[in-house]
């Protein structure tokens, strides 16, 4: 897990997993690994926060352990529980040993991450959990250990690489932030989004990828309830490719907007706001991008 010798080597390893990183993100991931510090990643939905953890695990040939946060999550869902049916059977069979022993322990993601050497632990959407759960994480993130009332302190022999994501639906507490390195992921610019689409969807034509990305880039300037992320860009490109399209046309765009926009108000806004004109502008932008790349190679 700590085997990346340089930022460049880490970037190349992530790119082999078709996850393209800019230098700032690659640097902070490298430092988090080198310093054994948790990494807090924030950004709008769909910018690739969760995918970063998946790509890092694959690039490191490490197990990915995921804790999906939600309102009401507690210690028994995140850390551990006891196998009560096995304990009951043990009692009925006349067992005389302790009931709260490791053989009856059910390891949830946090405890599993402490037990699994060189794991990547993804604590996903921590902003969905409540303050009490966030406070519970402080010991874990500070010392890579937890205290179980029945068994005492359990600590990692090799700390996991921890990536925490947040969509910033609420502010996380300073105590947690102080324990982490931090990075905000922006929506990519047009060139980078095209590169991401080409890397993730090699079956999609370059022309279509450029038009789709140009169209989405313009939508992000609108006052939408939820701007489309890179994930939605890829979904839309795949949908158009599945329909046999090599370029965007207004009627097909109208019928397939539901793969790109996920709110009725946003769909109505885009459809009512000169959709054919937006398609034409996307075609021109894609052509301009193609022309500038050809000039650069000339």
For the chain, where are the alpha helices, taking DSSP H only? 7-16, 23-35, 49-60, 75-78, 84-92, 109-115, 131-143, 174-178, 190-200, 206-219, 230-242, 250-256, 264-272, 275-297
Q: In this prediction, what percent of the chain has a pLDDT beyond 70?
A: 96
pLDDT at 230 over 60: yes
Which among 171-175, 272-276, 285-289 has the top mean pLDDT? 171-175
- Reported as a single tens digit per residue, the pLDDT across 249-277 is 999 999 999 999 999 999 999 988 888 99
Q: Distance (Å, rounded) from C-alpha 239 to C-alpha 253?
A: 10
Strands 145-148 and 80-82 come out as: unpaired
Return the pLDDT at 194. Answer: 95
What contacts 261, CB < 8 A, 6 or more positions away?
219, 224, 226, 228, 232, 267, 270
pLDDT, the chain, mean: 91
pLDDT at 292 over 70: no
Domains of the chain: 7-185 (3.40.50.300), 190-290 (no CATH)
pLDDT at 243 over 60: yes
pLDDT at 296 over 60: no
- The residue among 41, 43, 74 whose CA lies nearest residue 177 is 41
pLDDT at 235 over 60: yes
Residue corresponding to tokens 């169209």: 215
pLDDT at 2 over 60: no
Return the pLDDT at 286. Answer: 85
Q: How confident is the model at residue 239 (pLDDT cuts 50, 70, 90)?
A: very high
138 touches 180 (CB < 8 A): no
pLDDT at 38 over 90: yes
Bridge partners for 105 per DSSP? 82
Q: In this prediction, what percent of the chain has a pLDDT beyond 90?
A: 72
**Number of C-beta neighbours around residue 292 at 10 A:** 11
**Number of C-beta neighbours around residue 48 at 10 A:** 23
Q: Distance (Å, rounded) from C-alpha 160 to C-alpha 119?
A: 5
DSSP 3-state of 37: coil
Return the pLDDT at 93. Answer: 86
Q: Which residue has the higher pLDDT, 92 or 5?
A: 5
Return the pLDDT at 261. Answer: 94
Q: Which residue has the higher pLDDT, 288 or 75?
A: 75
Return the pLDDT at 95. Answer: 79
Q: Distance (Å, rounded) from C-alpha 280 to C-alpha 289?
A: 14
Q: Distance (Å, rounded) from C-alpha 200 to C-alpha 208?
A: 14
**Average pLDDT score over residue span 55-59:** 97
- Reported as a single tens digit per residue, the pLDDT across 118-158 is 899 999 999 999 999 999 999 899 999 998 888 889 999 88
pTM, to two decimals: 0.87
Q: How confident is the model at residue 113 (pLDDT cuts 50, 70, 90)?
A: very high
**Average pLDDT score over residue span 84-103:** 85
Read out DSSP for 87-127? HHHHHHTT--S-SSSGGGEEE-HHHHHHHSTT-EEEEETGG
214 touches 285 (CB < 8 A): yes
- Reported as a single tens digit per residue, the pLDDT across 178-208 is 999 999 999 999 999 999 999 999 999 999 9
């Amino acid at each position: 897990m700590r085997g990346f010798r340089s930022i460049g080597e880490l970037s190349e390893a992530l790119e082999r997993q078709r996850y393209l990183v800019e230098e700032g993100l690659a640097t902070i991931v490298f430092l988090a690994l080198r310093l054994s510090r948790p990494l807090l990643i924030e950004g709008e939905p769909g910018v690739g926060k969760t995918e970063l953890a998946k790509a890092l695990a694959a690039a490191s040939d490490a197990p990915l352990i995921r804790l999906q946060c939600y309102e009401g999550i507690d210690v028994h869902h995140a850390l551990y529980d006891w196998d009560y049916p096995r304990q009951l059977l043990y009692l009925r069979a006349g067992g005389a040993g302790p009931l709260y022993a490791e053989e009856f322990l059910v390891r949830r993601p946090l405890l599993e991450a402490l037990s699994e050497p060189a794991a990547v632990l993804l604590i996903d959407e921590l902003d969905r959990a409540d303050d009490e759960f966030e406070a519970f994480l402080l010991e874990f993130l500070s010392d890579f250990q937890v205290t179980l009332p029945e068994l005492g302190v359990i600590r990692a022999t090799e700390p996991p690489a921890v990536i925490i994501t947040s969509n910033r639906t609420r502010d996380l507490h300073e105590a947690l932030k102080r324990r982490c390195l931090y990075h905000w992921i922006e929506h990519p610019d047009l060139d980078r989004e095209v590169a991401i689409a080409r890397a993730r969807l090699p079956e999609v034509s370059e022309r279509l990828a450029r038009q789709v990305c140009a169209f989405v880039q313009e939508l992000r300037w609108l006052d939408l309830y939820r701007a489309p992320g890179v994930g939605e860009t890829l979904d839309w490109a795949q949908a158009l490719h599945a329909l046999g399209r090599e370029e965007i046309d207004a009627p097909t765009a109208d019928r397939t907007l539901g793969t790109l926009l996920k709110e009725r108000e946003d769909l109505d806004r885009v459809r009512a706001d000169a959709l054919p004109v937006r398609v034409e502008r996307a075609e021109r932008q894609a052509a301009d991008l193609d022309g500038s790349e050809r000039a650069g190679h000339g």
